[in-house]
Amino acid sequence: MKTIAVLTSGGDSPGMNACLRAVAKVAAGRGTHVLGSLEGYEGLMDDRFRDLTRHLPDGKVGTDLELDAAGGMGGTVIGSARSARFREKPGRDKALENLRARGVEGLIVIGGNGSLTGAHLFATETGFKVVGIPGSIDNDIGCTATCLGVDTALNTIVDACDKISDTARAHRRAFVVEVMGRDCGYLAMASSVAVAADAVLIREEGKSEEQLVAAVADVIRKGFSRGKRRVLIIKSEGIQMPTTKLVRQTSELLEPELPNAEIRATVLGHVVRGGNPSYQDRAIGGRLGACAVAALLDGATDEMLGWQSPNPGGSPTMDPYVQRFKLDQVLVETKALIDGTSPIIKRRLKLMQVAADVLPL
């Protein structure tokens, strides 16, 4: 292949730029040019691209010099977006037309569930060679132990909760901190252990609003009765009950017995998405990017690269930590992660049930 394209789609995640840098460098080393599609699939349809490689005076291929620095930055230098147009066949037809007109022979898609669904559809419908890389801070993609951005997001949550805990202890307060995770409570589960939270609330447990209020009230009641000056509860974004409403109703429930209890709500929101990627996200991004280029140039298509996958059925790559999975298998496992039928989710919930008795001590 003389030219390949790469795009970042859906929600951005720290590590995407490190992955783009690796894709450009590894491709350049193989004499292949790389075009970055601007704003995800939208760039494919609108014919908007940025050169991520360049011609060197000696005739070889080099990388865009800005990528060296960009690899250590959060976000994505080629932009990202969710595309409704690409879901329709005319949009995909236009994307294929633009790619072929530019001489592009393969595509790397970095993104989450929706992005990889689009990659699978494009590959099977057109026969164009497409390889995916999991990028989602929610860690809700099948066939990979972690996705780009997860480690950085967890570090951001830990840092925020440590600071919240400082002020909570100073004033003897309880905090309910909401973290991101629309369809998957992984960030809440993992961070709750790291920050020594007193409890964690996740969508997967299926609690009603009344049960949530009762559970939070019980944790706060017991925490203060044991002499704690700080009670910290991590709540996943996937729980539909607004955090402010949860705190308000909990305060009202506890007011008769704990009239001086102070309970605060903090929604971290998109702060969790930002920031320079951690070492782990830079390393994983680089290694997945390198394997994606190798897979594409070796003729692979309709596949995703997974990191230390817990799932069987993957094909080996040059990196022992990276395997290739067919995208249809990835999407089936992703659906199971989201609807709770995956053995991985069941195992996580079992571990959290064990931790539930230990966290408040």
45-58 pLDDT, tens digit each: 999 999 999 999 99
Q: How confident is the model at residue 356 (pLDDT cuts 50, 70, 90)?
A: confident
Options 12, 138, 281, 302, the catalytic residue: 138
Q: Give CATH for domain 151-274.
A: 3.40.50.460
Q: Is the whole-model pTM more than 0.85?
A: yes
The Cα 161–Cα 242 span in angstroms is 19
Give the mean pLDDT of the chain: 96
The Cα 232–Cα 243 span in angstroms is 13
Residue carrying structure tokens 């571990």: 351
Reported CATH class of domain 3-149+277-340: alpha beta
Q: Quick check: 142 pLDDT over 90?
A: yes
76-113 pLDDT, tens digit each: 999 999 999 999 999 999 999 999 999 999 999 999 99
Instruction: Tell me if 71 sits within 8 A of 42, measured CB to CB.
Output: no
Give pLDDT, residue 281. Answer: 98
Give pLDDT, residue 100. Answer: 98
Q: Dig out the tokens for 303 from the structure.
A: 């596949």
Residue 293 CB-half CA count within 13 A: 27
Instruction: Tell me if 72 sits within 8 A of 21, measured CB to CB.
Output: no
199 in the Ramachandran plot: left (φ > 0), alpha (ψ -120 to 50) or beta?
beta
CA-to-CA separations, 285 to 3, 24, 47, in angstroms, rounded: 21, 12, 26
The DSSP secondary-structure symbol of 98 reads: H
Residue carrying structure tokens 């009762």: 214
The Cα 360–Cα 233 span in angstroms is 10
The structural domains of the chain, with segments of one domain joined by +, span 3-149+277-340, 151-274
Instruction: Tell me if 156 sits within 8 A of 217, measured CB to CB.
Output: no
Q: Dig out the tokens for 328 from the structure.
A: 């249809």
Give pLDDT, residue 358. Answer: 87
The Cα 160–Cα 164 span in angstroms is 6
Instruction: Tell me if 48 sits within 8 A of 167, measured CB to CB.
Output: no
Residue carrying structure tokens 């409890």: 199
Report the relative pairing of strands 49-51 and 230-236 from DSSP bridges: unpaired
Give pLDDT, residue 41. Answer: 98
Residue carrying structure tokens 């037809």: 93
* For the chain, percent of residues with pLDDT exceeding 90: 94
Q: Dig out the tokens for 125 from the structure.
A: 């419908």
Q: Check for a shared fold between 3-149+277-340 and 151-274.
A: yes
Q: How confident is the model at residue 118 (pLDDT cuts 50, 70, 90)?
A: very high
Q: Quick one: which H or E segment has residue 356?
A: helix 343-356
Q: Among this protein's residues, is 159 annotated catalytic?
A: no
315-348 pLDDT, tens digit each: 999 999 999 999 999 999 999 999 999 999 999 8
> Collapsing DSSP states into helix, strand and coil, what is residue 361?
coil
181-202 pLDDT, tens digit each: 999 999 999 999 999 999 999 9
